[in-house]
Amino acid sequence: MVSAMSMPQVPPTKIDFSPEDRAWIAARIIEVLESGRLTLGPFGEQFEAELARSMGVKHAVTVNSGTASLEIMLRAMDVAGKDVLVPANTFFATAAAVIAAGGNPVLMDTDVTTLSTSVKEIERRLTPKTVGIMIVHIAGFITAEMPDIAALAKAKGLWLMEDAAHAQGSTLDGKSAGTFGLAGSFSFYPTKVMTSAEGGVIVTDDDRMATEAKLYRDQGKASFLQNTHIRMGYNWRMSEPHAVIGLRHHQNLPDMIKNRQRIAARYDAALAGGAYGLRPLPAPKGCVSNYYKYVVMLADGTDRKKAKTWLRDERGVNCSGEVYEVPLHKNEVLKHLDPGDLTGSETACGRQLCLPIFASMTDAQADQVIAGVKAAHQAGIL
């Protein structure tokens, strides 16, 4: 028996840059330093071109975070004083960006099977002041209802935008996350499936949105060299070293996703039929997920905190943070947004557990996780 102290640890996630990646990045950062073009330069332009090409869109505008990309999209749509539908089960920034842009987030409930929002729920939450819908692809899953959501938005004269921070490389019927509506926002924060250290991008086929995004990200200046301001912009620029890091990870993205999918398939096979008290969430029909997270639902009454501690201490299995631990309206600063009846979101948040998953994870590490949950089940923890 391996003692708890000497047991190999499976980390919740891992950010991978191989020695070749590091050398590639270092060489180009030296080039950037030599050139003196440290921000909004050729590497940023190349990163944008490659992102746009991989997602099949006309424009990609890089910025310095996924929070910035959200706020820019919302400012470009002038949401001040208006209502924007936002899921209750999402990251703080989805709603905070609406508030920062002067709008009012209206929370929608979560479908526990897809972790997303249904057409029915959108219809229920519409208000006379609603101007748009923000859909979030939690864990990398794109709901099969996406085309119906786009059709509903069109029929109601609303814009549809996506916070696709979790869904880089996910598709639904071959269509990339972030491309179902007017614009999509991505984050390159280190824990995401690909990273630029910090960063984000707006993808769109809309020429006006792309032009606005470029204005907003650079202090709302009329042009790069002209210090007159025509929008309430901010410093949301992406630096060249960040673009270099992002470029490299973006080139690795297909392989990194393939590895995540291999681990997810191994979990799926082991946990099929609700084995060990866990219910895996199958990817929605037509969705090829990037498996940013591997989410399982816990049986009623399971103590998640206790289970996570047990798995870590007894089996070296470190589960990652949930998506999300609590829905938005359970956060002190956002409790005023509670419209009532968000029980799906409360269940989705309260009952989920995210098993370790990352691009360089080995089958042996996945098997350690599977053996760990089996043992936790036998011990009555799961």
Ligand X SMILES: Cc1ncc(COP(=O)(O)O)c(C=O)c1O
- DSSP code of 317? B
Return d(Cα 213, Cα 236) in angstroms, integer: 10
Return d(Cα 69, Cα 83) in angstroms, integer: 19
CB of 165 to ligand X, least distance (A): 3
Cβ proximity to ligand X: between 138 and 153 the closer is 138
Cβ proximity to ligand X: between 165 and 283 the closer is 165
Our CA angle for 139, 142, 147, nearest 5°, is: 160
Q: Which residue is nearest to ligand X (CB)?
A: 66
Return d(Cα 270, Cα 135) in angstroms, integer: 31
CB of 58 to ligand X, least distance (A): 23
CB of 164 to ligand X, least distance (A): 8
For residue 242, which of 13, 36, 19, 28 has the smallest C-alpha distance? 28
CB of 93 to ligand X, least distance (A): 4
Q: How many helices (H) and strands (E) does the chain have?
A: 11, 15
CB of 121 to ligand X, least distance (A): 18
Return d(Cα 176, Cα 184) in angstroms, integer: 10
Return d(Cα 272, Cα 283) in angstroms, integer: 13
Cβ proximity to ligand X: between 68 and 264 the closer is 68
Return d(Cα 78, Cα 129) in angstroms, integer: 13
Cβ proximity to ligand X: between 141 and 189 the closer is 189
CB of 214 to ligand X, least distance (A): 19
Cβ count within 10 A of residue 334 = 18
CB of 277 to ligand X, least distance (A): 28
Residues β-bridged to residue 98: none
Cβ count within 10 A of residue 129 = 12
Cβ proximity to ligand X: between 166 and 260 the closer is 166
Peptide bond into 189 cis (omega under 30): no
What SS3 class is residue 141? coil
CB of 272 to ligand X, least distance (A): 28
Cβ proximity to ligand X: between 91 and 141 the closer is 91
Cβ proximity to ligand X: between 90 and 114 the closer is 90
Cβ proximity to ligand X: between 178 and 200 the closer is 200
Q: Exposure string (b/e) for 10-21, b if CB count within 10 Å is 16 or more?
A: bebbeeeeeeee
The amino acid sitting at 277 is G
Cβ proximity to ligand X: between 136 and 337 the closer is 136
| CA atoms within 13 Å, Cβ hemisphere of 185 | 26
Residues forming the site for ligand X (CB under 6 A): 65-67, 90-91, 93-94, 136, 163, 165-166, 187, 189, 200
CB of 136 to ligand X, least distance (A): 5
